[in-house]
Amino acid sequence: MDTHKVRICVPVCERDIHALERASEQAAAMGDIVELRLDCLSESAVTKISRLAGLCPRLNRPLILTFRPSEQGGHRDADLSVRRLFWETARKFFKEELLDIELDLARDAVTSIPKPDWGRTICSHHDFTGVPADLVHIYESMARTPARWLKIAVNARDAVDCIPLFQLLERANNEGREMIAIAMGTAGIATRILGPSRGNYLTYGALDRDRSTAPGQVTAGELRELYRIDHITRKTQLMGLVGLPVAHSISPEIHNSAFAAANVDAVYIPFEVRDLIAFIRRMAHPRTRELDWNLRGLSVTAPHKSAVMDLLDWIDPAAKEIGAVNTIVIDLDGLCGYNTDAVAVLKPVVEKLGPLRDARCALIGVGGAAKAVLWSLRKEGANVTVFARNPEKASLLAEKFGAKCKTLNASHFNDFDIVINATPLGTHGTFGADTPASAAQLRGARLAYDLVYNPIETLFLRQASEAGCDTIGGLSMLVLQGAEQFKLWTGIEAPVAVMREAAERAV
């Protein structure tokens, strides 16, 4: 194995030998190491694995061989005896490849005859149900085997589940053990991106998004090109997106492209957060966080924009008045909150329509984004009516900002100059087939503005076009508010054109 610090291992999982060889060639072109998931092979193909014996020198890449049982996330119903027999056979053909064996098999092998070549053995443990309470005990059991590498992969439900993985990695480094620590799932992506810079022997990257072999596994191309993993060190500034969910967001593409263009040593990572209080206390706040890392800024999205305000040390007066924070700057004194949505949200509308004083505006939604829009519209002097399915929430928001309110239901918007969708309806995924208003409801309105940016053309915008309205999508607003975040975090002007191009490419 080479001594290059960042090693991306690309797993391949195929049913037949020829497909496995073809995929291995693709993996070798993308990564530093190739993992052959032999448990994916059909029963008949497993009997022919000797054909793979010459693959390692052909690929000019180290190979890891894996035969994972189903209880460890594999494709085999293979008990200890079946796996023992498999590896005894495999060792006859594979003399230089690395062998990834599970903890139970590694324990068994300590007293077996013949003994494995421990210098090329990975002792691994996988838990797809969560983070086991006895994780430290599992590590210590693995450390008692002679295996050169220890691998632990657990399923993360919240970003804070990454903490014990990073802590185990730190311990292994201090004890002189080579380790691979991965938190699977979207909530664990930080371990995949930051792991190598913190001593992880390797990280895993999929061939493409359709061929990942574990939850939350990003592609090898994304690790290298989007997150610039080869350039990440312990000094690299960390920024990230806090929300639930975050997998759909294109903010990593926007901000990481900006950092690269501006030559800023920083990386932007999605953090899937359920327990906001725990995340701020254990991972973000400089006085209480449990990780020694250079976290400098956060974007905040639904559902945390309002709740996070109680956890900050200082809030910009505008954000305080709005009642929502979407940007956090972290320094030695603590966490400072801002709202860049409010700065950016109306710029595309003003560019199209000019000044908005006395414009008749219908605002659909009562969440954090709606608060920023309403604050900005009031500042522009517009006349606003808030529409929501929940009349109580609409009334509270409207009263706070001196607006009118109505129940959404079958409302018509022909009396309005501008109709703004500040709900998640229309967002790619769960809400993709939804719209807050139909063409019949929108007919007569001058402009329809959707804050949803993915997809570029939402059902709401299609209905608005059918009704004869001018339209604006949410991508411009996303880029402009991101540019304001970039300036707050770095102190320099954002490369807006680069960010816009990255956003369009991502969507």
User: What CA–CA distance (Å, rounded) separates 400 from 379?
Assistant: 14
Looking at residue 46, the DSSP 8-state letter turns out to be: H
Cα dihedral 184, 188, 194, 199 sign: negative
User: In this structure, how many other beta carbons lie within 10 angstroms of the beta carbon of residue 53?
Assistant: 15
Q: What is the distance of C-alpha 255 from the center of its chain?
A: 13
Strand order across the 314-315 sheet: 266-272, 237-243, 295-300, 327-331, 334-338, 314-315
The set of residues, in sequence order, having a beta carbon less than 8 Å from that of 68 and lying 6+ positions away, is 37, 39, 74, 75, 76, 100, 102, 126
The set of residues, in sequence order, having a beta carbon less than 8 Å from that of 269 and lying 6+ positions away, is 189, 190, 193, 194, 227, 238, 239, 240, 241, 252
Kindly report the three-state secondary structure assignment for every residue of 222-255: HHHHHCCHHHCCCCCEEEEEEECCCCCCCHHHHH
Q: Given the structure tokens 């529409």, which residue do they identify?
A: 387
Pick the closest to residue 196 from 229, 227, 165, 223 (CA basis): 229
Looking at residue 10, the DSSP 8-state letter turns out to be: E
User: In this structure, how many other beta carbons lie within 10 angstroms of the beta carbon of residue 225?
Assistant: 13
Distance, first Cα to last Cα, the chain: 38
Phi, psi of 117 (to 5 degrees): -80, 95
Residues carrying an active site annotation: 305
Name beta bridge partners: 9. Answer: 33, 204
Bridging pattern class, strands 295-300 and 327-331: antiparallel
Task: Cite the DSSP H helix spans in 362-401.
Answer: 368-380, 391-401
Residue 477's alpha-carbon distances to 50, 200, 259, 465, in angstroms, are 57, 38, 19, 20
